[in-house]
Structure 1
Amino acid sequence: MKIVTSTLLSTFPNVISAFTTREGGVSRTPYSSANLAFHVGDNPMDVIANHDILASLVGYNRHSLIHMRQIHSDTIVIVDENIRFDTPPECDALITDKPNIPLMVMSADCTPILLYDPNKQVIGVVHAGRAGALNKILVKTIQKMINTYDSTHKDIHIILGPSIHGCCYEINEAIAIECEVQGYTSALRKEDKKLFLDVNTILLEQLKALKIENFEVIDHCTSCQNNTYFSYRADKKVTGRIAGVIMLR
């Protein structure tokens, strides 16, 4: 399985992390081949096989992995021993300070986000599409880390994974107005009569407002690079999911 790693997080020995691509799994068309989502119509045994491949490659126990039933919300869950691989919580962000519990966020155009505080040894994952970004899911997750674990803005490291960019994410006028009302005009682009949105611009403006300096953007557009990544838009809605995964050693 082919993965993409973070330069920023690679300097820390106590954390492992990766973003997946669609390459190197066992799923068949239209989920070919490294689909990690159970809810998209893929053969569940193939999905489990893909999870096993990824766990072996990155270095964690698949049975300890916590993923989410993502709903484009601002719900954040603190992971404890009651949550298991087979009972994913309904939310769009996870945080924990427990070692050897991998956290996973899945996506197919939305931005998968990894968070790490090397001082307090806390990790998190966030699923941020347009709705989540406008609902400040990333900001709220950062605040949850601060309130729960006494993290600070200067210590939190944030990685924005592969996602659809403003070159490809066409939106309607109602969404554009919603962005303008919230002050994110810079995230919008007009080409002829078409409107486009760059969700990462919203997320980066939010990080700037919080004065967070430790961040990295994996600058890969899932739609432009559809041969490498699953894309809900480019694949006409029927497709698999890539993932971001992070774990404290």
Structure 2
Amino acid sequence: MKTIHSTLLSPYPHITACFTSRHGGVSIAPYHSANLAFHVGDNPDDVVQNHDLLAAKLGFNRHSLIHMRQIHSDTIVIVDNSFTFDTPPECDALITNCPQIPLMVMSADCTGILIVDPIKNVIAAVHAGRAGALNKILPKTIQKMGEEFGSLAKNLHIVLGPSIHGCCYEINETIASECTAKGYDSALRREDKKVFLDVNTILLEQLKALSIENVEACDHCTSCRCDEYFSYRADQQHTGRIAGVIFLK
């Protein structure tokens, strides 16, 4: 299975972190081929096999991986050894300090985010689409890491994975007004009578407000690069999901 690894997190040998592409799995069209989501209509046996391929490549036990039933919320869950692969929590962020528990965030245009505190050995996986970004799922996750594990924002290393960018994410005026009302007018781009939103601009502004400097943002737009990634918009809503995965060895 084809994976993309972070330059920012590469100095930490006790952490494995990557994002997947749509290549190297067994699913058939329109989920071809490395779909990792069970809820999109793909053959469940193929999805399990894709998970097994990823686990084998990264060196973890698939049954220990925790993914989410993502609901575009600001709900955050602390993960321990009581969680299982077959009972994913309903939330949009996972945090753990437990070794050998991989955390997974899935996406097909939304931004998957991986967070590492190399001082406290705490990790997080966050799902941030437009709704999550406007509801501050990312800064709330950072706050929760501080409350639960003593993480300091200045020590965090944060990677934004492949996502739809402002070149392709067209929105309506109601959503544009909501963005402006919440202080994110800089994330909007107007062209003729159309308006486009760059969610990563919102996320990066939130990180800047927290004085977090160790940030890496993938410059791949999933809609432009739908040959490489699943894209809910470019694939006309019938598609699979890539994933961000992170774990403490």
TM-score, length-normalised on structure 2?
0.99
Do 1:18 and 1:58's aligned partners in 2 also have CA atoms closer than 8 Å?
no
Do 1:120 and 1:150's aligned partners in 2 also have CA atoms closer than 8 Å?
yes
Structure 2 residue aligned with 1:233 = 233
Deviation at 1:153, TM superposition (A): 1.0
Structure 2 residue aligned with 1:106 = 106
Deviation at 1:59, TM superposition (A): 1.5
The number of aligned residues is 249
Unaligned ranges ≥5, structure 2: none
Q: How does 1:13-162 map to 2 (within 5 A)?
A: 13-162=13-162
The ranges of structure 1 where at least 4 consecutive aligned residues each deviate by more than 2 angstroms after the TM superposition are none
Structure 2 residue aligned with 1:211 = 211
Structure 1 residue aligned with 2:163 = 163
Deviation at 1:154, TM superposition (A): 1.2
d(CA) in 1 for partners of 2:145, 2:178: 28
d(CA) in 1 for partners of 2:131, 2:80: 27
The one-letter amino acid of 2:175's match is I
The one-letter amino acid of 1:25's match is G
Q: Deviations over 1:41-65 (max 9, x none)?
A: 0000000000011111111111110
TM-score, length-normalised on structure 1?
0.99
Structure 1 residue aligned with 2:179 = 179
Q: Deviations over 1:194-234 (max 9, x none)?
A: 00000000000000000000110011100000000000000
Deviation at 1:81, TM superposition (A): 2.0
Structure 2 residue aligned with 1:7 = 7
Q: Deviations over 1:183-203 (max 9, x none)?
A: 101100001100000000000
d(CA) in 1 for partners of 2:145, 2:219: 26
d(CA) in 1 for partners of 2:199, 2:58: 28
Query: What secondary structure sits across from 1:63 in the alignment?
Result: helix
Sequence identity of aligned pairs in percent? 72
Structure 1 residue aligned with 2:248 = 248
